[in-house]
Structure 1
């Protein structure tokens, strides 16, 4: 029998478990939310009873506003990173809808396309995001929009109970939420998930680990009720949704939220840790790196049970330093597959992945020269109880992730992430270059926000660097000169043909920030197109000067790196 609720693991439904928690353990804290925009002013504990009451209020509100849905109609939710996301999702499920969660950071054309693909004609939105919704309405004038009630209104409500009456067998294949793929390599795709998708995550609790080993799957988050975790990923991101629901309702995690309007910082995290006794964090690699640069950052990490990174791979230098202070969980997965269950490894192997034996998969050789393997996830009737892919991509037998891995030289079951097939640069001589190791090393410099290596069908590569701070035109050349030793170090991370030569570097300008996905990874093709003129200027200059071999770096930079006309 499961810890939360009366149904067994793998047969629990999220709205039912929350309602049972309200009766069995009403004082359990689901989340701590800041009382003002300044975390120094303190936090309010929101219990599972509070959350259940908010859900019932919102379910009645949806019914009164739109009516119930008999056919899993799609409601679009555009909100902030706060509790109204989980509340609205569970309320939508209770009233028969499925919820589309597009990223507010997407262009309106992308979100309009997602709505069209999923048949959504109704939007629920946070009042603060009204301008985004107006731009969506301009693209689809017949769309009906409604402003969400405030969280205060929800918390202060006293609604009648609004039960979810379906059994697991009745509801297993019902669609409940639509998230979208990241869009880092193409247009975001809607992925529809069912109750069965999350039941498969729940089933991980009872999947065995090999003798003497520990799992790092959903069951790992079954902590005591005092363990509080900071979650940086927004609700519309798979990681944020997965943990908010499976970790917070199926398990006993308590989340600590920051102010929804303010980007978190290491200083804010340290203040939250003092007030909330944080024991765990889930952050993107860029935030982890900022923590390491913050005074007292290592001491902060030492006070945690674990730190997890998701959304993008952490650089080896950052991960090595962090893992010396705390167990570092290096999640990998996708919207289609969910985070993949793994086994616990030695701390020094944090960079590697050892998938749990019950994850049915193959490592298919992709590049014999590099020794790179593509991860392929397999799904069938035998694995449907614990394989989210079976439910998220109907009919998928072999799902090619396009994620590439290198095998550990001494531990054959361990693989480290190498990049994506879509990231690979093919030079004009046919040489394949994986840009990720070089980019990660350059991005490890505190003055660098982003790095993008390009060069498809060219004989040499060009590196585009985005500074952390805007630079005046006259300062860009000296900035790149300062970075050159770092670039030379990064060159050692890849094979010769892909290495960056002097004169083959572009400094990005603040007027053209790198295009990024909701999880902050660089959208390569869009960013490359934005800097096409500057890249072509580099190639043209090197051609006219004999490939640039005898051109001094300083003069080349001062000639090439001028701001483009927007």
Structure 2
């Protein structure tokens, strides 16, 4: 991605007023592109222009005001819709009307929805037609409105512009959007955005695309040049509602969600790549792993100029293959902070992030008792403040704990700024004798076996780890003989070799391996034998360990809790 430079007042613009300006100055410029027919992508994709976008936003703004009346103090309404462009339109309409739009994941349980709505004092609920919210309205009675259909808004005749007269300086601290945390460690927490926080991402357009100190490291900025950018994530996700808003409205990208009225699944990705004329893409690791196993994998990957991924680790074999056929780059960001400012990495460093440490305000603090592991913080400094979203969201903060762990690049010339993700601080296993193990690296290795869908290590409070494996095909679990045969295969082909290079507190005894899984034939999980997953589709560690707590503790009770650490210490004393 390149920079547009400072010629367009980067860092001092509002998304919704810029949309109106573009509708006047570049009315036919494409903002997004969606299929004409979701059932037949071969019919082509339709570009949604800024003229059409601005008109749709105005229509929604008038609809919001007619439903709720004029805003008084940035009151909150919630929107739960279908997976389409109306999420982005609602966020812009909220900004215009000076309400706040809460986007609560459709995957949430009713208590999670209600918790967010209580914490944000939500006064009304907007939905798309067909979205069932009876359980929410029973728990929190409030006005409910159904917004116009997507095609109605895209085809709407010109409507009177909704008035908005504030300058950037007047509106900078005005909130307009509420997203939320994943809720993997409890109820989801609201994350509020104001215009200043989005402007911090926009301000990165003032940075040179080439680092002035090294003269060679190329920054990835939020302002791409002309690009048809495929981002097939949930529409209420921060990358779609915030990052892609900056990339399109303040940059030159055209947003491609994949489909017009539904989510893009990993089974759809080939059809989208065949017909959407994609230049660049941000895909989930699961989608990339599916692409690399396709017969025409090299051909599909070569169509993509720049392939970004993030949110979860990418299988090493998939990463290696993809990096040989496209420009594969790992990205890091969280809803609270947005994306870190980073550099392009070489193909051999596809699983590393090369950070602009000073401009991002990143500080990597060593984790005591765990060699090579570092805890990431974002510090407010004169250098980082203009570009750090978090400190504009909350001006009282001076430092933010990301909760993420990293290991430095083994090359001393890169180690200071090139890092590999190593999991969350919440993931750390702390054994009874006080040693720590960051399990993510070893879990990824265990999960690379073809029989394994996912792996988790447990052991906090004990003296040795317990390994939980979720199988791709759980059929053998119906027979003790077959279960033992599978375990023997896993032991010889995967677990034992990993033990050979793992630290003492990461070595797994065969007796402490538990196998789980449920059929993948659509029959569900009646026996409750699958790992829990969050809205991103990644394994929810705490929820899964809670789910199987009885089996884990029964394993320790039956087979003991002496562990590799204790055995090693006894041998050292001999």
The TM-score, its normalising length taken from structure 1, stands at 0.89
Task: Please say if residues 476 and 486 of structure 2, whose CA atoms lie closer than 8 Å, have aligned partners that are also in contact.
Answer: no
Partner of 1:433: 437
Task: Please say if residues 54 and 154 of structure 1, whose CA atoms lie closer than 8 Å, have aligned partners that are also in contact.
Answer: yes
User: Aligned-pair distance for 1:446?
Assistant: 4.7
CA distance change for structure 1 residues 161 and 3 in 2, over 3 Å: closer, same or farther? farther
Task: Please say if residues 55 and 88 of structure 1, whose CA atoms lie closer than 8 Å, have aligned partners that are also in contact.
Answer: yes
User: Aligned-pair distance for 1:368?
Assistant: 5.0
SS at match of 1:278: coil
Partner of 1:216: 219
Partner of 1:118: 120
Partner of 1:157: 156
Matches within 5 A, 1:446-461: 446-461=450-465
**Hey, what's the Cα distance between the residues in 1 that align with 2:315 and 2:501?**
12
Partner of 1:189: 189
Task: Please say if residues 473 and 517 of structure 2, whose CA atoms lie closer than 8 Å, have aligned partners that are also in contact.
Answer: no
User: Aligned-pair distance for 1:90?
Assistant: 0.5
Partner of 2:550: 533
**Hey, what's the Cα distance between the residues in 1 that align with 2:354 and 2:89?**
35
Partner of 1:557: none
SS at match of 2:179: strand
Matches within 5 A, 1:409-448: 409-410=410-411, 411-413=414-416, 414-448=418-452
**Hey, what's the Cα distance between the residues in 1 that align with 2:84 and 2:122?**
23
**Hey, what's the Cα distance between the residues in 2 that align with 1:307 and 1:526?**
31
CA distance change for structure 1 residues 261 and 501 in 2, over 3 Å: closer, same or farther? farther
Number of aligned residue pairs: give it.
540
**Hey, what's the Cα distance between the residues in 2 that align with 1:381 and 1:76?**
36
Task: Please say if residues 179 and 238 of structure 1, whose CA atoms lie closer than 8 Å, have aligned partners that are also in contact.
Answer: yes
**Hey, what's the Cα distance between the residues in 2 that align with 1:95 and 1:14?**
13
User: Aligned-pair distance for 1:342?
Assistant: 0.7
**Hey, what's the Cα distance between the residues in 2 that align with 1:128 and 1:441?**
43
User: Which of 85, 88, 98 does residue 86 from structure 1 map onto?
Assistant: 88
CA distance change for structure 1 residues 236 and 12 in 2, over 3 Å: closer, same or farther? same
Task: Please say if residues 184 and 522 of structure 1, whose CA atoms lie closer than 8 Å, have aligned partners that are also in contact.
Answer: no
**Hey, what's the Cα distance between the residues in 2 that align with 1:462 and 1:518?**
26
Task: Please say if residues 424 and 433 of structure 1, whose CA atoms lie closer than 8 Å, have aligned partners that are also in contact.
Answer: yes
SS at match of 1:385: helix
Matches within 5 A, 1:372-521: 372-380=373-381, 383-410=384-411, 411-413=414-416, 414-468=418-472, 471=475, 473-474=477-478, 477=483, 478-484=485-491, 485-491=493-499, 494-503=502-511, 504-509=513-518, 510-511=525-526, 512=528, 513-521=530-538
Q: Deviations over 1:473-496 (max 9, x none)?
A: 426725545444233344456422
Q: Deviations over 1:100-131 (max 9, x none)?
A: 1121112221121111111112111123321x
User: Aligned-pair distance for 1:186?
Assistant: 3.7
Task: Please say if residues 5 and 206 of structure 2, whose CA atoms lie closer than 8 Å, have aligned partners that are also in contact.
Answer: no
Task: Please say if residues 336 and 393 of structure 1, whose CA atoms lie closer than 8 Å, have aligned partners that are also in contact.
Answer: no
Task: Please say if residues 75 and 100 of structure 2, whose CA atoms lie closer than 8 Å, have aligned partners that are also in contact.
Answer: yes
The more displaced of 281-290 and 310-319 is 310-319
User: Which of 515, 530, 543 does residue 560 from structure 2 map onto?
Assistant: 543
Task: Please say if residues 324 and 347 of structure 1, whose CA atoms lie closer than 8 Å, have aligned partners that are also in contact.
Answer: yes
The TM-score, its normalising length taken from structure 2, stands at 0.88
User: Which of 58, 66, 69 does residue 67 from structure 1 map onto?
Assistant: 69
CA distance change for structure 1 residues 261 and 51 in 2, over 3 Å: closer, same or farther? closer
Structure 2: tracts of 5 or more residues without a match: 519-524, 565-574
User: Which of 39, 46, 54 does residue 44 from structure 1 map onto?
Assistant: 46
Partner of 1:345: 345
Q: Deviations over 1:288-336 (max 9, x none)?
A: 1111112212321122111111212324333222222222221112112
CA distance change for structure 1 residues 260 and 533 in 2, over 3 Å: closer, same or farther? farther
CA-atom RMSD, angstroms?
2.6
The more displaced of 472-481 and 149-158 is 472-481
Task: Please say if residues 369 and 435 of structure 2, whose CA atoms lie closer than 8 Å, have aligned partners that are also in contact.
Answer: no
Q: Deviations over 1:540-561 (max 9, x none)?
A: 33239x989xxxxxxxxxxxxx
**Hey, what's the Cα distance between the residues in 1 that align with 2:487 and 2:260?**
35
SS at match of 2:301: helix
Task: Please say if residues 123 and 144 of structure 1, whose CA atoms lie closer than 8 Å, have aligned partners that are also in contact.
Answer: yes
Partner of 2:569: none
User: Aligned-pair distance for 1:468?
Assistant: 3.8
Matches within 5 A, 1:89-238: 89-130=91-132, 133-140=133-140, 142-158=141-157, 159-208=159-208, 209-210=211-212, 211-219=214-222, 221-224=223-226, 227-238=227-238
**Hey, what's the Cα distance between the residues in 1 that align with 2:557 and 2:87?**
50
Q: Deviations over 1:141-195 (max 9, x none)?
A: x222222211011112121122432100000010111111222334322111110
**Hey, what's the Cα distance between the residues in 1 that align with 2:384 and 2:53?**
33
The more displaced of 382-391 and 196-205 is 382-391
CA distance change for structure 1 residues 194 and 490 in 2, over 3 Å: closer, same or farther? farther
**Hey, what's the Cα distance between the residues in 1 that align with 2:391 and 2:162?**
31
CA distance change for structure 1 residues 481 and 242 in 2, over 3 Å: closer, same or farther? farther
SS at match of 2:94: helix
Q: Deviations over 1:58-95 (max 9, x none)?
A: 11111111112121111111123310101111111111
Task: Please say if residues 80 and 260 of structure 1, whose CA atoms lie closer than 8 Å, have aligned partners that are also in contact.
Answer: no
Structure 1: tracts of 5 or more residues without a match: 549-566
